Amino acid sequence: MRYLPYLLATGWFGLRVVTGLVTGYSYAAGKTAGIFSNLLIILALILLTLYGSLRSENRLSFLDQFRDCIKSALKYLLAMTTLMVIYYTAISPELEDARVAGYAEVEKALDSDEEVIAFRSQNPAYASMSRVEIVDNAKRNIDFFLSIKAIAGAGSLVLLLVSFAYAALGVWLWRAVLKPPQAGRVS
């Protein structure tokens, strides 16, 4: 049970590499598989942590079980985030491919004067900008949203919040539904 979060993170990494190979390193398809696999792994990890608390001879409190679940989830998140950074920086060309595609889409969307005028009329914040400034601003946005810092930071934060929710809900369900308190034991 001690190394389970790290083993699951390594398993996620292997799954992510295989998904990348199968999808031809498509960022959109790989991202979806990565998100759902992380959600399932965190849920499984929390349930396995709760199941491991059955071996304890003394009955743990809600907060003790919640803390144990969060501790396991944090170990997983740390290892998974590290492996995700390695995946996107050393293995997968997904981010660079998505960045190049985004640049081409912006260039194509604003390649004529009529399209620039229509864009300015629909977006008043860009009314005083030239075509070059609009394109540069769009490229900066693409660079930010496809940077490894933004992806790793936002992904870790969201998974941390999901871990807290899963842990609270899991411990509550475990205690209330699946394993009701027994007579004579402290709850």
Supply the pLDDT for residue 183. 47
Give the residue-averaged pLDDT of 37-48: 95
Residue 187 lies in a domain: no
Supply the pLDDT for residue 30. 86
pLDDT at 13 over 80: yes
Sign for the pseudo-dihedral over CA of 91, 83, 14, 27? negative
Residue 186 lies in a domain: no
pLDDT at 61 over 90: no
Domains: count for the chain: 1
Residue 54 lies in a domain: yes
Amino acid identity of residue 29, one-letter, is: A
pLDDT at 186 over 90: no
* Residue 108: half-sphere exposure toward Cβ, Cα within 13 Å: 6
Angle between the N-to-C axes of helices 94-109 and 131-145, in degrees from 0 to 180, rounded to the nearest 10: 160
For residues 114 and 184, the model is more confident at: 114
Return d(Cα 29, Cα 22) in angstroms, integer. 10
Residue 184 lies in a domain: no
For a pLDDT cut of 70, what percent of the chain falls above it? 93
Name the average pLDDT for the chain: 89
Residue 63 lies in a domain: yes
pLDDT (tens digit per residue) in 82-107: 999 999 999 989 899 999 999 999 99
Supply the pLDDT for residue 175. 83
Q: Look up the domain containing 53 and give its range.
A: 4-178
Residue 183 lies in a domain: no
Supply the pLDDT for residue 143. 94
Return d(Cα 137, Cα 156) in angstroms, integer. 27
Residue 125 lies in a domain: yes
Supply the pLDDT for residue 185. 52
Supply the pLDDT for residue 181. 52
Residue 83 lies in a domain: yes
Q: Is the pTM of this model over 0.75?
A: yes
